[in-house]
Chain A
Amino acid sequence: MKKIKVFLAVAFCKTVRFFAKLLGRGSSLPGALTLKLFPNILKDITPPEKIIAVTGSNGKTSTVELIAHVLKESGASLVYNKEGSNQIEGVTTMLLCDSTLSGKAKSKIALIESDERFAKYTFKYIKPDYLFVTNLYRDQLTRNGHPEWVYASINDAISEGITLVLNADDPLVTTFGKNRKALYFGADKLSFDKDVNDSVYNDGKYCPICNAPMSYDYYHYNHIGSYYCPKCGFKKPETKWTITDASLDDKKLTINGKHTIELSFSSIYQCYNSLVAFAAADIAGVKAEDAVKALSGYKMQSGRIMDFTFGKATGTLLVSKHENSVSYDQSINVVTNDKNDVAVLIIVDKISRKYHTEDTSWLWDIDFEKLNSENVKKIYLAGSYYKDLEVRFSVTDIDKDKLAVCESVESAMAKLKNEENFTYVITCFSDKGKFLEIVKKGEV
């Protein structure tokens, strides 16, 4: 009976996948339909020998892309959810389409990007050998509640036998490792670190174990850094994989004091993504030299960073996440680190492409004050939420003459056409399409 069930499920999933692809549908639908007919099918298949999973608020897709690149370069037999369908439906599609009709995985390694809130369903039957947690930030709170709520969801997904691989620099993430088998990655003190957390809020202010005020030796950014609790002794754990040196100007980082990776795009999150990829490669048995070679100079395919030309304007699109202040803060960091004069265009037109909300409270968590920087000459605020942006900027000390408030993306682009400074465009997946379409047309 079980054999027939598996045969039917795999055949069904592959067939739906074939037609869904023809119709341009995503990788989630085949798994969703299969699960309707065979709800526990993941229990009955033989998954790949080694399963590595990645979850967390930010950097999942980029990290998985990097890990997959390194593993593929090393010749590993790998399956992964490259289209980013990271809930149980997408994972089901991926695993069944990689199976023989008897339900046995063809690939040796499965690399799974998993949504934080739904990991507990995905990992009920498909238990990862290693689970990476990249970080926990305020992310899409309109549907995620808050970081501690997400923490509880991930916690429910962790069962015995899973080795956790945790970001040691994120206090809340570190606590997953308490009384569990865990390995850690993180960064030592770096040249661009800060002594104080000067962002809008500090989610590392109080100890996640005992609630006492925490101290930090240094902050890499936001609440990510080296912390300790003077009251209960909770502190940043020892790291197995460590960024021992990094230079954003020279675009490189060194891991464990000897493995230097050249970055094609220099940012602190790219450093962390590379570190996680290095760690995952190590776990998968790839030699350090081979991992370094594969990671060096690799250009991300996932389209988070794109160059553009529009009229007189040239610049870079920094795809950030709406409802995610850390992501915006990172983009702002890129802008203010530029040694040249620049302009910035911020677009908030549609908050999410997946659900409707008009909540813009997250704008208040972003450190827009930092754009009050000598090198930032002009700031365009655009999109249907231009008024929310305008009010938010009204409480910063940024000179009003620098601001151009535009009620639509189109009207902003009409002005941008004549912008002579190099321009950074900061917006979300949900809004980048509108911008890129106008760029492609070459006119408004």
Chain B
Amino acid sequence: MQIKILHLYSDFMNLYGEYGNVRLLTKALADKGSTVEVFQKTITDSEIDFAEYDFIYCGAGTESKRTFALNHLRNFKDSLKSAFDAGKVILFTGNSWEMLGKSIETADGKVLEGLNLFDFTVKEQNKKRLTGDIRAKTELLNTELIGFINKCSEVENVASPLFTLTMKPESFSFEAEGIREKNLFGTQIVGPVLVKNPDFCNYIAELIIKNKA
């Protein structure tokens, strides 16, 4: 099977070694007999058609770079929405998934319009980062997930979180984390989450193959 992966903003939404996710997923798909091609689209691209790809990925960036990405991605929000509605497999990690909601209020009080795929809202601050190792569970997998969260935001009104945290730093007031709707997955876990969690990597790989078949 021929699989096309789109890695969005890989040149700056790459703060915590996120490309590792794409490398390991490519390997997992290849091990299952697929041929994988990875494409990159970034801020200098004026055309993105999400329908062309079988999997769409975006990683974490600084808050200012996230704004930079959001302002660009807004031009393609209809295409992204159609891909989501059609059940395309999409994974956004770190602060990138926060772009998918209604709005983001930045630390300086500006309210940015989100991509409006979902109803949640995000509020950032610049005083304290919420960081720490976490463990999480989800009904999708038999094993617990491990990872690291590194953020300065609060997300409100997520209808269907991806994970329930089973271990977290004391400073985290939230128990539920991320988002899952159809085949879209968002998690605040930064870095190579698929590297640290082979079961999750395998789950995504199988979903991509099933979806394409």
Would you give the shortest CB distance from B166 to chain A, in whole angstroms?
Answer: 15
Q: With A142-B131, A149-B129, A205-B12 given, is the CB distance from A362 to B148 under 8 Å?
A: no
Residues from chain A with a CB closer than 8 A to the CB of B19 are 200, 364
B24 and A395 within 8 A (CB): yes
| Interface residue? B46 (CB, 8 A) | no
Residues from chain B with a CB closer than 8 A to the CB of A213 are 44
| Interface residue? B144 (CB, 8 A) | no
| Interface residue? A443 (CB, 8 A) | no
Tier of interface size on chain B? 20 to 34
Return the contact of A364 from the options B12, B27, B148, B192 (Cβ within 8 A): B192
Residues from chain B with a CB closer than 8 A to the CB of A394 are 27
A391 and B16 within 8 A (CB): no
Q: How far, in whole Å, are A185 and B105 apart by their CA atoms in the complex?
A: 38
Residues from chain A with a CB closer than 8 A to the CB of B43 are 206, 211
Q: With A141-B150, A142-B148, A213-B44 given, is the CB distance from A365 to B17 under 8 Å?
A: yes
B131 and A149 within 8 A (CB): no
Q: With A142-B131, A152-B126, A211-B68 given, is the CB distance from A361 to B192 under 8 Å?
A: yes
Q: With A152-B126, A395-B23 given, is the CB distance from A359 to B133 under 8 Å?
A: yes
Interface residues of A in 344-378 (CB under 8 A from B): 356-365
Count chain B CB atoms within 10 A of each CB in A202, A206, A213 and give the residue with the most: A206
- Per-residue CB contact flags for chain B residues 63-100 toward chain A (1 = under 8 Å, else 0) read 11100100000000000000000000000000000000
| Interface residue? A143 (CB, 8 A) | yes
Count chain B CB atoms within 10 A of each CB in A149, A200, A361, A363 and give the residue with the most: A361
Count chain B CB atoms within 10 A of each CB in A138, A152, A201 and give the residue with the most: A201
| Interface residue? A148 (CB, 8 A) | yes
Return the contact of A391 from the options B11, B64, B68, B195 (Cβ within 8 A): B195
A148 and B62 within 8 A (CB): yes
Would you give the shortest CB distance from A385 to chain B, in whole angstroms?
Answer: 11
Interface size of A by CB at 8 A reads: 32
A138 and B191 within 8 A (CB): no
| Interface residue? A146 (CB, 8 A) | yes
| Interface residue? B146 (CB, 8 A) | yes
Q: With A146-B62, A205-B12, A364-B191 given, is the CB distance from A358 to B20 under 8 Å?
A: no
Would you give the shortest CB distance from A350 to chain B, in whole angstroms?
Answer: 14
Interface residues of A in 137-153 (CB under 8 A from B): 138, 141-143, 145-149, 152
Q: How far, in whole Å, are A363 and B192 apart by their CA atoms in the complex?
A: 10
A357 and B133 within 8 A (CB): yes
Q: How far, in whole Å, are A202 and B18 apart by their CA atoms in the complex?
A: 14
Return the contact of A395 from the options B14, B16, B20, B64 (Cβ within 8 A): B20
B148 and A359 within 8 A (CB): yes
B15 and A138 within 8 A (CB): yes
- Per-residue CB contact flags for chain A residues 180-201 toward chain B (1 = under 8 Å, else 0) read 0000000000000000000011
Q: With A148-B62, A148-B63 given, is the CB distance from A358 to B17 under 8 Å?
A: no
Q: With A152-B126, A211-B68, A391-B24 given, is the CB distance from A143 to B11 under 8 Å?
A: no
Interface residues of B in 94-140 (CB under 8 A from A): 126, 129, 131-133
Residues from chain A with a CB closer than 8 A to the CB of B64 are 148
Q: How far, in whole Å, are A149 and B18 apart by their CA atoms in the complex?
A: 19
Residues from chain B with a CB closer than 8 A to the CB of A364 are 16-20, 191-192, 195
Residues from chain B with a CB closer than 8 A to the CB of A202 are 11
B14 and A361 within 8 A (CB): no
Residues from chain A with a CB closer than 8 A to the CB of B150 are 141-142, 145
| Interface residue? B179 (CB, 8 A) | no
Return the contact of B16 from the options A141, A356, A392 (Cβ within 8 A): A141
B133 and A361 within 8 A (CB): no
**Closest partner residue, chain B, to A201 (CB atom):** B14
| Interface residue? B190 (CB, 8 A) | yes
| Interface residue? B155 (CB, 8 A) | no
B16 and A361 within 8 A (CB): yes
Q: How far, in whole Å, are A424 and B130 apart by their CA atoms in the complex?
A: 37
B15 and A146 within 8 A (CB): yes
**Closest partner residue, chain B, to A213 (CB atom):** B44
**Closest partner residue, chain B, to A366 (CB atom):** B17
| Interface residue? B152 (CB, 8 A) | yes
Would you give the shortest CB distance from B95 to chain A, in whole angstroms?
Answer: 10
Q: How far, in whole Å, are A156 and B62 apart by their CA atoms in the complex?
A: 18
Residues from chain A with a CB closer than 8 A to the CB of B132 are 357
Q: How far, in whole Å, are A325 and B14 apart by their CA atoms in the complex?
A: 13
Would you give the shortest CB distance from A177 to chain B, in whole angstroms?
Answer: 19
Would you give the shortest CB distance from B85 to chain A, in whole angstroms?
Answer: 31
A357 and B148 within 8 A (CB): yes
Q: How far, in whole Å, are A391 and B194 apart by their CA atoms in the complex?
A: 11
Would you give the shortest CB distance from A138 to chain B, in whole angstroms?
Answer: 7
- Per-residue CB contact flags for chain B residues 1-35 toward chain A (1 = under 8 Å, else 0) read 00000000001101111111001100100000000
Q: How far, in whole Å, are A357 and B134 apart by their CA atoms in the complex?
A: 10
Closest CB pairs A-B (n = 3) = A364-B17, A361-B191, A359-B148
Contact surface of A with B, Cβ cutoff 8 Å: 138, 141-143, 145-149, 152, 200-202, 205-206, 211, 213, 356-365, 388, 391-392, 394-395
A-B contact pairs, 30 of them (CB 8 A): A141-B150, A142-B131, A142-B148, A142-B150, A145-B150, A146-B15, A147-B62, A149-B126, A149-B129, A152-B126, A201-B11, A201-B14, A205-B12, A206-B12, A206-B43, A357-B148, A358-B133, A358-B146, A359-B191, A360-B196, A361-B192, A362-B16, A362-B17, A364-B18, A364-B19, A364-B192, A365-B17, A392-B20, A395-B20, A395-B24
Contact surface of B with A, Cβ cutoff 8 Å: 11-12, 14-20, 23-24, 27, 43-44, 62-65, 68, 126, 129, 131-133, 146, 148, 150, 152, 190-192, 195-196
Known: A148-B62, A358-B146; 18 extra A-B contacts, CB below 8 A, are: A141-B15, A141-B16, A145-B129, A148-B65, A149-B126, A206-B65, A211-B68, A360-B191, A360-B196, A361-B148, A361-B190, A361-B192, A364-B17, A364-B18, A391-B195, A392-B20, A395-B24, A395-B27
